[in-house]
Amino acid sequence: MSYSGMAATAAQMKELDRIAIEERGIPSLDLMEQAATAVADAVEELLTPDPEQYLPTAVSSTVLLAVPRKGETLTDTDREEVARLQDQINDPAQKGRRVAVFCGPGNNGGDGIAAARLLMQRGFAVRAVLVGDRNRMTADARAMEQRLQDCGGTLEDFCPTNQEQMLLLSVCDCKVDALFGVGLSRPITGDAALAVRLLQTHTGGPVVSCDIPSGIHADTGTVLGCAVRAAVTVTFSCPKPGHYLGDGAEHTGDLRVADIGLPFDLLYNQPARLEVVDGSFTLPRRKPNSHKGDYGRLLIVGGSEGYTGAPVLAASAALRSGAGLVFVAVPRDIYPIVAGQCSAAMAFPLPDAADVLLDRVKGCNVAVIGPGLGREHDNLVQTLLQCLDCPVVLDADGLNATVGHLDWIRSRTAPTVLTPHDGEFARLTGCTLPIGDRLDAARSLARDTGAIVVLKGHRTVTAAPDGRTWINTSGNAGMATGGSGDTLAGILAAFLGQKPLYSDGTDAAQLAARAVWFHGAAGDHAARRLGEYSLLPDDLIDALPQVLRDHVVD
């Protein structure tokens, strides 16, 4: 069963597991066995060379030096012990097959214990350790320990003072992180923190994390004290926000989603549905008999002295994203500059009276308000929000004008899309920076205003008033430059204004999330050609045709 696009918070996963086990009658040990199988498969894949790429090489050896403590003499027994460890570490039969599994006492640890048994049965040399209090092991973890023992394995206690254990755990070929799952909410300390550091030793090979790297908050991606950096994370049923948000994106490594047997309808029908936008959607091919009116008449209100490029970038991005007609209204004193930069968009000076502007733009079916506008037009922003009956993308100074006046947004009946970066979000809501839980923050503002919120940043979050939320996966650090947000505003408006994009039941919130993905994908396409350091907003616009063409259905 495919769970493509779905995601869930820690609380949602806990409830899904409960329903599956208690109401649907799925044995919890069956779910754990499936999870462990996926982890074991990932380890085996890492430690099994690709036959087409494999070339025999000399087996490297680890050399142990026996050094006596000050005032002590090295005994024959000491030398024999060092020799034994030397032989064990450098045993050719175990080279490339040694796995250390670090298990916590919870069900995440149970996944690790089960994976240790499966790997042992596949011929790997496995050393499994319990990091934590045995008395706090869950019933499922204990059951998996019994299965391990029945197969001749052992779950030993983690003992940082045991030099032999520390040495053998640090020189394995791969390590499994099964310390903490998605329920972790407090900083890691004590022996668990020592285990995290040991998991990160470079001599111990790559790390495979179970569900989420230990130390990463499942909902925010925040590092809780310290955290594992995984080469591969095998998550169960669906991704978690922490795999993408905050520092979690850097700690997750290669994310693999394993189907462990949860019924698909449970995940699909959950309230406050959460999705990951990965580009797995298409755009409809245009009908031969269509005309420019089918693809949106856009109004862009923006620009000021020193910010003449903002409305031009928004207009260019909108046109490259398929908009039919684009009108650009700018202050009279910069009109000649803006008009000279617009070839396909139609620029005109802002009338002195708002009602004249409204009369002129009758028939526009989407508006962008704010790119480079300045704060001297706050009254105009209020009038447009109250009088326009079409979707509005509120950006930059359009947002700043509504600080303390969110009722202007709440009173609208047509869709409104807010596009704040973190600083603008803080001004709108009064929250402090940094934003701890970006997912909850975007959802809260959407619920409070009735607007679609696009909280910009690394892994932009789009939230709808009904609780649906999308985490974007495209984009790169090269897009952190002035003007990138203006291009996004144009793409958003272009998508909202095209009638064919609504034909399959897609609504404004979904279109906004897809527009965000295309914006990031254009940035990725441009970065592959130019590099991140040299990326400009114009490069994103130039990349849009290729990215959009690749998604048009045949």
pLDDT per residue over 379-427, tens digit each? 999 999 999 999 999 999 999 999 999 999 999 999 999 999 999 999 9
Same domain, residue pair 123 and 253: yes
> Residue 227 has which token pair?
């955290």
What CA–CA distance (Å, rounded) separates 40 from 225? 28
Same domain, residue pair 25 and 131: yes
Whether residue 281 lies inside any domain: the answer is no
Closest by CA position to 131, among listed 184, 193, 204, 181:
193
* pLDDT given at position 91: 59
Structurally, the chain folds into a number of domains equal to 2
Same domain, residue pair 202 and 120: yes
Whether residue 33 lies inside any domain: the answer is yes
Strands (E), 85-166: 98-103, 125-130, 155-157
Same domain, residue pair 329 and 419: yes
Look at residues 216, 236, 270 and tell me which one is the last residue of a structural domain.
270
Domain that holds residue 218: 6-47+79-270
Q: Which residue has the tokens 């045949």?
A: 554
Same domain, residue pair 229 and 328: no
Whether residue 442 lies inside any domain: the answer is yes
Same domain, residue pair 299 and 432: yes
Encode burial over 362-372: b for 16+ CB neighbours within 10 A, e otherwise: eebbbbbbbbb
Distances from the Cα of 168 to the Cαs of 100, 119, 120, 191, 195, in angstroms?
8, 17, 16, 17, 13
CATH code of the domain covering residue 493 = 3.40.1190.20
Same domain, residue pair 245 and 325: no
Whether residue 58 lies inside any domain: the answer is no
What CA–CA distance (Å, rounded) separates 328 from 75? 87
Are 274 and 341 contacting, i.e. CB atoms less than 8 angstroms apart?
A: no
Whether residue 138 lies inside any domain: the answer is yes
Task: Calculate ∠ Cα 248-249-253, nearest 5°.
Answer: 105
Q: Cα 294 to the chain's mean position, in Å?
A: 34
Closest by CA position to 107, among listed 33, 42, 206, 16:
33
Same domain, residue pair 101 and 134: yes
> Residue 424 has which token pair?
């603008």
Same domain, residue pair 95 and 209: yes
Closest by CA position to 384, among listed 372, 398, 403:
398
Whether residue 62 lies inside any domain: the answer is no
Closest by CA position to 326, among listed 341, 344, 309:
344
Same domain, residue pair 83 and 24: yes
Are 488 and 456 contacting, i.e. CB atoms less than 8 angstroms apart?
A: yes
Whether residue 495 lies inside any domain: the answer is yes
3-state secondary structure of 100: strand
Tens-of-pLDDT digits for all 554 residues of the chain? 334 588 999 999 999 999 999 999 999 999 999 999 999 999 999 998 654 444 433 334 444 444 445 555 556 665 555 555 555 555 555 566 899 999 999 999 999 999 999 999 999 999 999 999 999 999 999 999 999 999 999 999 999 988 888 888 888 899 999 999 999 999 999 999 999 999 987 666 899 999 999 999 999 999 999 999 999 999 999 999 999 999 999 999 999 999 999 988 888 887 778 999 999 899 999 989 888 888 999 999 999 999 999 999 999 999 999 999 999 999 999 999 999 999 999 999 999 888 899 988 888 999 999 999 999 999 999 999 999 999 999 999 999 999 999 999 999 999 999 999 999 999 999 999 999 999 999 999 999 999 999 999 999 999 999 999 999 999 999 999 999 999 999 999 999 999 999 988 899 999 999 999 999 999 999 999 999 999 999 999 999 999 999 999 87
Look at residues 213, 239, 270 and tell me which one is the last residue of a structural domain.
270
Whether residue 192 lies inside any domain: the answer is yes
* pLDDT given at position 65: 43
CATH code of the domain covering residue 217 = 3.40.50.10260
3-state secondary structure of 178: strand
Same domain, residue pair 400 and 262: no
Same domain, residue pair 309 and 255: no
Whether the link from the prior residue into 434 is cis, omega within 30° of 0, is yes
